[in-house]
Copies of this chain bind each other. A is one copy, B any other.
Amino acid sequence: MLTDYLIRTEPYYRPVGDEAALFAAAYAARLPMILKGPTGCGKTRFLEHMSWRLRRPLVTIACHEDMSAPDLVGRWLLDAGGTVWHDGPLTRAVRFGAICYLDEVVEARSDTLVAIHPLTDARRMLPLERSGEVVPAHPDFLLVVSYNPGYQALQKDLKESTKQRFGALAFTYPAPDLEAEIVAHEAGVDASCATRLVQVGAASRALVAEGLTEGASTRMLIHAGRLIAGGIGFAPACALAVATPLTDDPALRDALAAAIAAQVP
């Protein structure tokens, strides 16, 4: 069943530095990894790419504050012949050797975070407390988690005893040339349009100092590019895909509108 999670075609990813080699070495040492960085800067795409390169299925779980350990690990369900154990997504990844990706891990409840401890030290096992089974991790299994140090870390953080079980790679927005190349490729717009979209993105990221929670992700710029490729004008596409979702603050909306207007061809 885990073959559903195999990535069969190469996900587009433009490397920024030696992150691929470092991740491959961490995987070789089966060192659990934290991917850090702002929203939409490419952490998830990077991991999809590495999963494809390493030919391992990728099980992604978006964490949230109401997620509990049984959501990850599994639970008993009543069946015709009594209760039957159903593996959760983490247990399936552990059993069959996938890369398990806990996206935005700091959002999870404490029991979720603690359930991964025996998987991230020398034991490499998952005790299913409610079934009594102890699942040894498949040799190919690796745990990867992400978090966003920009605004999340102010309120929530991993416990030291969790954090020190992981290695970490820090991501940020790609450099302008690289980002324009990505936008052009993903949205199907020409280089000039992509460059102008990247400048809108850079302007929005500069507005964080003015109070914007977070700048536009590369993903937002791709959204705008796709609308442009679909026939919408540059300014309304950027308004719909970048400015209007990002903020309701009138001053910030005006600043974003000006930044967009400055790039209209």
Contact = CB atoms under 8 A, between A and B. Distances in A.
Nearest to A225: B29
Interface of A is mostly: mixed
A39 interface: yes
A206 to B, nearest CB: 16
Contact of A248 (B62, B149, B160, B165): B149
Given A81-B80, A160-B39, A169 B240 contact: yes
A64 B107 contact: no
B164 A226 contact: no
A109 B67 CA distance: 11
Contact-size category for A: 35 or more
Interface stretch (A85-93, A172-180, A190-198): A85-93
A265 interface: no
Interface in A149-170: 149, 151, 153, 160-161, 163-170
Interface of A: 1, 4, 18, 21-22, 25-26, 28-29, 31, 34, 36, 39-40, 44, 60-69, 71, 75-83, 86-89, 92, 103-104, 107, 109-111, 113-115, 117-118, 121, 123, 127, 129-132, 134, 148-149, 151, 153, 160-161, 163-170, 213-214, 216-217, 219-220, 223, 226-227, 230-232, 236, 240-241, 244-246, 248
